[in-house]
Chains A and B, each alone.
Chain A
Amino acid sequence: GEDVEQSLFLSVREGDSSVINCTYTDSSSTYLYWYKQEPGAGLQLLTYIFSNMDMKQDQRLTVLLNKKDKHLSLRIADTQTGDSAIYFCAETDGNNRLAFGKGNQVVVIP
């Protein structure tokens, strides 16, 4: 299956920006996704980007896609305590299955 890599832990002060990175291997992925999982909860789709785009902005969220390097990032502006969660990037494989990265835990310090 696809190998989606993510770093593991990020600590950030409230009000600062957070950047979470992800690399993926399947260059044919049509869409790439960011999911958020709060403690004890299911996954929430935050945003997605189509593979022919370089950037997508949605309120405090900015997604950057570098297809050449197969690199995806999520920037959260003005990070708030409610942003504390695990963030998973994901891509769809050739069978439209979601392949998740290992996840990145973000801890927001008040």
Chain B
Amino acid sequence: SQQGEEDPQALSIQEGENATMNCSYKTSINNLQWYRQNSGRGLVHLILIRSNEREKHSGRLRVTLDTSKKSSSLLITASRAADTASYFCATDASRRANNLFFGTGTRLTVIP
């Protein structure tokens, strides 16, 4: 299985602190993506990092990818209460249709 596995499973921080979530996977990938899901709602694409990239930024988000360790991290800086959600990594390792394999997610709670 090439599924991503996130850790920690749950993370609780104070508003203003940084939150770091990690993802590990098992096979070679084309790219790795991070998604956010508010409780019972849809998936929101946050950022995509390709296998030949090592770091990517988008606003308060910073993603790193280490293909030698088959791991990625998502850093949210200066967290806000509105960042409270579940965060999933998803790996694309397919040859044709880039279907994704999702991890189990990290539940982030930001306390105001």
Q: Answer yes or no: are A and B bound together in one complex.
A: no
* Chain B residues within CB distance 8 Å of chain A: none
